[in-house]
Amino acid sequence: MGETAAEQQPLLEVRGISRVFGTLLANDDVSLAVQAGEIHALLGENGAGKSTLVKIIYGALRPDAGEIRLEGKRVQLQSPAQARKAGIGMVFQHFSLFEPLSVAENIALALDGAHDMAALKQRIGEVSAQYGLPLDADAMVADLSVGERQRVEIVRCLLAEPRIIILDEPTSVLTPQEAQALFATLRQLAAEGRGIIYITHRLEEVRELCERATIMRHGRVVAEIAPADHSAREIARLMVGSEVHDVSAPPMAETGAPVLHVRDLTLPAPGPFAVALYEISLDVRAGEVVGIAGVAGNGQRELFAALSGERLAQNRGAVFIAGHDVSLKDINARRKLGAAFVPEERLGHACVGGMTLLENLLLTRHAVDASVVRRGMIDHAAARVATQRVIDEYDVRNAVPERLAAALSGGNLQKFIMGRALDRRPALLVVNQPTWGVDAGAAALIRQQLIDLARDGAGVLVISQDLDEIFEVADRIAVISRGELSAPRPAAELSREEVGLLMAGAHEARHGTVHAAQT
């Protein structure tokens, strides 16, 4: 193989990487080059192979074929420790942090060499000052906000003095303002001559931040482009491989009576690593979609559990569905009033992966649908008919009622879960992160279903971290921050920046304005 006579030797070059998982070709002959001082975007849908590729670069996975070169020299990375030694650092998407350990301990775990906590704390102070990433080295990670946790990850990565820094979806957990601060740090790092691989699916960010982008689809590289030269729409088409359908939102007709009415709902945190809800008030009226935006970990799960009845309120008069006080009624009583719920996690919460679709249909029907369960006995034939109907009507592919839920792809399973809820023609739908980790086609379909359901006269509440999604579907928008909910406002009157400020806690009554001033 002849060396390409490049005028500039790439800092990192990946050639012909392939990796198989069982029958899945996760990476198929992938090549990528990153120059010093460059912020290089790695784009692709979920399952396109981005995570597999960066895990291989970080030494956490071994490739079946291909090679990695650093400044032209071929390296064999057998472990993350070796990768760190070679100058490759990584900031993980789902933070690889240890909640009950201190910030300093968390950082020590990613560094090799002597175990000297005092010296380490001093270096943490230096680095965080240098890059504007304030941190308390003795704080327990469990007590930190998501943004602070990301700072821990970045400082941890920087302390190893990497030449290559990989960031996996870093802004998915940040407010727009926090994201801007992160971009400033990244530009500073690139200016120092480091190479940065930036994984994301947010196209506007890429156009703003990155000089070049490599786009992956189904495990292969499909294009390498300069993002500034292309529109977001063109880039999206490259990622998805086909035209992405727009969601159409016909104007809202007259809204009806509130189908969900929440008044001063306050609940203590259910565990040491959870969020308390504080005086939440909210109305969702028939015919409208209400969106709740917010950074992950600000009480979304806790709010969903309180609305669904998985967790009961502490007193009467807090939650009403279709005019009935359900504060102390469980989830099935709420379903009987016409409510349906779609939680965030598909496997382990919305569905049981090790059970069939039929059994998973029974999971939400057993108490409210006498045609499938009567006097405690299951009617399998009737349940099978209902499951098949959901599969057929909601375009769940590769599915039969006897198939295990875990065997379906994320998008298809989410279609099944949505179908299971919509099939009962709910008067109220509460859904948490409706398209998290779902392919673009299924995501567009699901968002359209949410709007259509509302226009057919139901009330829909969408909790989502994805601001684009919120603006796409919601008629009114509220923001949750540290367990407090801002007053919902019509979507048409709000800008992303305003919502961003609310996400940073500008409306918080209990925590005061100090926090808002900090961020």
Partner 1 sequence: MMVLEKRAAPSRWWSIGAPLLALGMAVVLGALLFAVLGHAPSRALYVYFVEPLTSAWSLEELAVKATPLMLIGAGLALAYRANVWNIGAEGQLIMGAIAGSAIPILLPGWNDALAMLAMLLLGAAGGAAYAAIPAWLKNRFNTNEILTSLMLVYVAGLFLDWLVRGPWRDPMGFNFPKSVAFDGWHVLPTLTGRVHLGFVLALLAVLILWVIVHHMRAGLAVRVQGIAPRAARFGGFSAPSITLGVMLFSGALAGLAGIGEVAGAIGHLQPSISPGYGFAAIIVAVLGRLSPIGVVFAAFLLALTYLGGEAAQLALNMPAKVAQAFQGLLLFLILAAEVLVHYRIRWRGRAHGAARARQGGGA
Partner 2 sequence: MSGLEAFVLTVMAAATPLLLAATGELVVERAGVLNLGVEGMMAAGAVVAFAVALGTGSAALGALAGALAGVLVVLPFVFLTQVLAANQVASGLALALFGLGVAGLFGEGYVGQPGVRLEKLHVPALSDIPFIGPVLFGQDVLVYVSFVMTAAVGWFLFRTRWGLMLRAVGVNHHAAHALGHPVRLVRTLAILFGGAMAGLAGAYLSVSYTPQWVEDMTAGRGWIALALVVFATWRPVRVLAGAYLFGAVWIMGLHAQAAGYGLPPQLLSALPYLATIVALVVISRNRALTLANTPAMIGQPFVPER
Nearer to partner 1, 17 or 174 (CB): 17
Of 2, 3, 5, 115, which one interacts with partner 2 (CB under 8 A)? 115
349 binding partner 1? (CB under 8 A) = yes
Nearer to partner 2, 156 or 207 (CB): 156
274 binding partner 1? (CB under 8 A) = no
Nearer to partner 1, 198 or 341 (CB): 341
Residue 458's Cβ-count burial label (10 Å; 0-12, 13-18, 19+) is: buried
- Listed residue (162, 137, 141) closest to 150, CA to CA: 141
Report how far residue 342's alpha carbon sits from residue 152's, in angstroms, rounded to the nearest whole number: 32
Report how far residue 445's alpha carbon sits from residue 346's, in angstroms, rounded to the nearest whole number: 17
Stretch (H or E) spanning 375: none
97 binding partner 2? (CB under 8 A) = yes
Answer yes or no: are the C-beta atoms of 19 and 56 closer than 8 Å: yes
Answer yes or no: are the C-beta atoms of 96 and 131 closer than 8 Å: no
Binds 109, which of partner 1, partner 2, none (CB < 5 to 8 A, cut-off by type)?
partner 2
Q: What track of x and - describes contact with partner 2 for positions 321 through 360 (by CB under 8 A)?
A: ----------------------------------------
Binds 441, which of partner 1, partner 2, none (CB < 5 to 8 A, cut-off by type)?
none
Taking CA 90 as the corner, what is the angle to CA 87 and CA 91, rounded to the nearest 5 degrees?
A: 150
**Least separation, in Å, of the C-beta of 509 and partner 2?**
26
**Least separation, in Å, of the C-beta of 386 and partner 1?**
15
Stretch (H or E) spanning 189: helix 176-191
Binds 92, which of partner 2, partner 1, none (CB < 5 to 8 A, cut-off by type)?
partner 2
DSSP 432-453: ESTTTT--HHHHHHHHHHHHHH
Answer yes or no: are the C-beta atoms of 88 and 99 closer than 8 Å: no
Q: Where are the alpha helices (DSSP H) in 311-439?
A: 331-336, 357-365, 380-393, 410-422
Of 16, 24, 62, 233, which one interacts with partner 2 (CB under 8 A)? 62
**Least separation, in Å, of the C-beta of 148 and partner 2?**
17
Residues pairing with 34 in the sheet: 12
59 binding partner 2? (CB under 8 A) = yes
Of 24, 73, 74, 98, which one interacts with partner 2 (CB under 8 A)? 98
**Least separation, in Å, of the C-beta of 300 and partner 2?**
21
Strands (E), 86-209: 88-91, 164-168, 195-200
DSSP 504-515: TTTT-SSS-SHH
Q: Under rule CB under 8 A, which residues in 405-464 are in contact with partner 1?
A: 406-407
**Stretch of residues binding partner 1 (CB under 8 A), selected from 177-185, 257-265, 339-347, 485-493:** 339-347
Q: What track of x and - describes contact with partner 1 for positions 354 through 393 (by CB under 8 A)?
A: xx---x--xxx-xx-----x--xxx---------------
Report how far residue 305's alpha carbon sits from residue 147's, in angstroms, rounded to the nearest whole number: 24
Reading the block at residue 515, the tokens are 């926090």
**Least separation, in Å, of the C-beta of 287 and partner 1?**
27
Answer yes or no: are the C-beta atoms of 160 and 110 closer than 8 Å: yes
Q: How many CB atoms lie within 10 A of CB 241?
A: 14
503 binding partner 2? (CB under 8 A) = no
Site of tokens 């939650």: 319
Amino acid at 22: G
Answer yes or no: are the C-beta atoms of 196 and 167 closer than 8 Å: yes
Q: Under rule CB under 8 A, which residues in 269-308 are in contact with partner 2?
A: 271-272
Q: What track of x and - describes contact with partner 1 for positions 47 through 66 (by CB under 8 A)?
A: -----------------xxx
Binds 99, which of partner 2, partner 1, none (CB < 5 to 8 A, cut-off by type)?
partner 2
Q: Which residues bind partner 1 (CB under 8 A)?
A: 15-16, 18, 20, 22, 28-29, 64-67, 308-310, 330-332, 335, 341, 343, 345, 347-355, 359, 362-364, 366-367, 373, 376-378, 404, 406-407
Q: Which residues bind partner 2 (CB under 8 A)?
A: 21, 59-62, 79-84, 92, 95-101, 105, 108-110, 115, 271-272
